[in-house]
Amino acid sequence: MHIAVVGSGYVGLVTGACFADLGHDVILVDNDQSKLNALRKGEVPIHEKFLPELLDKHRGKRIRFSEDLQSAARASEVIFIAVGTPATESGDADMSYIESVAREISGAVDSYKVVVEKSTVPVYTNEWIQKIIRRNGAHPEQFDIASNPEFLREGTGVTDFLYPDRIVVGVETERAAEVMKNVYGPLTSGWYYGRNDAVPRPDRAQTPPQLIITSAKSAELIKHASNAFLAMKISFINAVASICETVGANVQQVCEGIGTDSRIGPRFLNPGIGYGGSCFPKDLLAFRSVAKESGYDFRLLEEVIRINEEQRHRFLRKVRSVLWTLRGKRLGVLGLAFKGGTDDIRESPALLLVEELSREGCKVCAYDPAAMERAKEALGNGVEFATDAYQAAKGADAVLILTEWEEFASLDLQRLRSLVKYPIVLDGRNLYDPALMAENGFSYYSVGRPAALCEETASRGAKKERA
């Protein structure tokens, strides 16, 4: 099929590259000329596993890049809108990018097309897009709107897209449903999974995925409700972790005990410094706003947001209580991205913590495997950047683990121990077994688990104080 994907960011690029791998002809559209130039030259502007390989495989064959939205729309049967929907000051989703794309598409509707919302949008957006396209001259018989929310997670975007738990398609006509079934046919029929050159199957994948057809409004709500539920799970376990800290229980054991209940499940029960990223924070605000407009006061969402913010402050208090004063302390920070596997720093709790610690006078030396460039732009000169985790830790009063990168979970602990000034690790992602850290000579503080205190730290600290 001929498909246009408007917006070549995290979602658009992955969607376009995966559709090409399914055998479709894809035009990836963006209005950021520098991004398009980079893509045409073979560069990949985001860090996403398997994306470079897919773009290399299909660039110039099944994938083209364009700044000309109207030509791309004219040449396509299906047009996916994957532009940003950031939060406005009031918390509503800013729909101006979607509106401007819809207006441009209206001038290109010269044969039947399905215009698909891939961006995360509030309920009723499908009706607005339809109105805008009609208002600008397109014949109502010539197009339909579909909602096809995207559930990929950054870092595993490609495999999430190709091996999804389910595909949700919201439509109002049979004709649009048929088109969307054809778009995803290579996945739902299982054809893609039989191919030798398919992107490798992740462990948990169940294939072929179920296609869930709903109304457009239901599909829009499914996305907001899913993200709100997942954020709620994170805040729930973070609240439980706080209680564990107070009473001296171990949240890891609690998670095992509740996560093995099949009604609850173990995933997203990872206590830490809270969720971040470009989706959960803004989508929760937008969903709360949608609820309010519909006359429902969804206070549960406010509490989810409050717990999430409190979690970060709680970690900061922990750093203060371990180091006593912060001014002049040297901190080795491991992780800046909002989660492992991505270079995305939008609403990253790690970045927010680094900013706060710097404000309080700490000297931060940070390292992240993928997000350094973006973090440098955001943090400026106030922070030092290291070339690896060990360099970040060199001479540190304490090491802070703020992002759950795999490489931070398998550090050479003896090497780390030999580099730091004091063997203190504050782990905001619970990557290590406290007993192992103590065996390796560290005082180790994590989230919702008893601290592992090392004698050596105490005596060294005491010696220094006496001196």
Point out the residues that are catalytic.
Answer: 279
Residue 32 sits in the site that holds ligand NAD (CB under 6 A): yes
Q: Which helix (H) or strand (E) is 117 found in, with range? A: strand 113-117
Residue 334 · residue 371 · CB < 8 Å: no
User: In one letter, which amino acid is 236?
Assistant: F
Number of helical (H) and strand (E) elements in the chain, helices listed first: 18, 14
Distance of CA 266 to the CA centre of its chain: 19
Paired tokens of 56 = 């290399």
Paired tokens of 191 = 């054809």
Shortest separation between residue 193's beta carbon and ligand NAD, angstroms = 23
Strands (E), 131-170: 143-147, 166-170
Shortest separation between residue 343's beta carbon and ligand NAD, angstroms = 11
Interacting residue with ligand NAD among 21, 144, 150, 343 (CB under 6 A): 150
Residue 21 · residue 54 · CB < 8 Å: yes
Residue 100 sits in the site that holds ligand NAD (CB under 6 A): yes
Residue 347 sits in the site that holds ligand NAD (CB under 6 A): no
Interacting residue with ligand NAD among 21, 48, 144, 154 (CB under 6 A): 154
Q: What angle do CA 334, 339, 344 make, to 5 degrees?
A: 100
Q: How far apart are CA 197 and CA 186, in angstroms?
A: 14
Q: How far apart are CA 407 and CA 195, in angstroms?
A: 31
Instruction: Find all residues with CB under 8 Å of 393, minimum gap 6, and list them.
Output: 332, 334, 399, 416, 419, 420
Residue number with CB closer to ligand NAD (85 or 270): 85
Q: How far apart are CA 405 and CA 341, in angstroms?
A: 6
**Binding segment (CB under 6 A) for ligand NAD, from list 2-10, 54-62, 413-421, 435-443:** 2-10
The residues that bridge with 333 in the sheet, in sequence order, are: 366, 400
**Binding segment (CB under 6 A) for ligand NAD, from list 54-62, 80-88, 214-222, 453-461:** 80-88
User: Residue 72 phi/psi, 5° resolution?
Assistant: -65, -40
Residue number with CB closer to ligand NAD (144 or 150): 150
Residue 352 sits in the site that holds ligand NAD (CB under 6 A): no
Shortest separation between residue 255's beta carbon and ligand NAD, angstroms = 24
Residue 343 sits in the site that holds ligand NAD (CB under 6 A): no
Interface characters, 265-294, with ligand NAD (x: CB under 6 A) = -------------xx---------------
Percent of residues in the chain assigned helix, strand, coil, to nearest 5: 45, 15, 40
Residue 118 · residue 98 · CB < 8 Å: no
Residue nearest to ligand NAD (CB): 9
SS3 call for 371 = coil
**Binding segment (CB under 6 A) for ligand NAD, from list 5-13, 174-182, 352-360, 371-379:** 5-13
**Binding segment (CB under 6 A) for ligand NAD, from list 148-156, 364-372, 403-411, 438-446:** 148-156
Residue 310 sits in the site that holds ligand NAD (CB under 6 A): no
**Binding segment (CB under 6 A) for ligand NAD, from list 96-104, 172-180, 309-317, 319-327:** 96-104
Residue 221 sits in the site that holds ligand NAD (CB under 6 A): no
Q: How far apart are CA 320 and CA 153, in angstroms?
A: 33
How many residues lie near ligand NAD (CB under 6 A)? 27
Interacting residue with ligand NAD among 5, 9, 113, 132 (CB under 6 A): 9
Shortest separation between residue 247's beta carbon and ligand NAD, angstroms = 36
Residue 365 · residue 402 · CB < 8 Å: no
Residue 6 sits in the site that holds ligand NAD (CB under 6 A): yes
Residues at the interface with ligand NAD (CB under 6 A): 6-12, 29-32, 35, 69, 82-85, 97, 100-101, 119-120, 150, 152, 154, 278-279
